[in-house]
Each structure stands twice: as structure tokens, then as C-alpha cells.
Amino acid sequence: MISDKLMDELSVEIERTLKAMAKAKTPEEKLTYSMAVKNLCDSMGVFLKAAADYMEYADVDNEDFDKPF
């Protein structure tokens, strides 16, 4: 599913950015990486909230219910 791939890619990018932030030398570099991590985490939060909202209304026993993800 496309949302699974997107979540996986966001996770990989967050991890990569955190590793780069650990290697940053100046406060400006650390701030830049920190802002990038925050934006990536906010993006992931949008998908997690959508999944939580979906699960609130999903009837897992109803096979006719369309799954958005």
C-alpha cells in the first residue's frame, strides 16, 4: 500500500536526519537538522492521526467497508 511505503520512507528519513544531526558541529547545523526532524515527525503524525481516526469508525467485521490505506 502506498501509505505503508510512505510511512517507511518517513521513518528512514527521520533516522537518517537524526544520525546527521549527531555529526553536526555547529549550533546552526544542529538547529537546521532539528527543524527537519520536527517537520518529518509532524508529517508522520498526520498519517498516524488519519489511521487512528479511520480505526475509530472502521468495522473490521464488515468486508464491504472500504479501507483507505
pLDDT at residue number 55:
75
d(CA 54, CA 51): 5
Per the prediction, the chain carries an average pLDDT of: 85
Q: Is the pLDDT of residue 10 over 80?
A: yes
Q: Helices (H), strands (E): how many in the chain?
A: 2, 0
Contact 30, 21 (CB under 8 A): yes
Statement: the pTM of the whole predicted model exceeds 0.75 = no
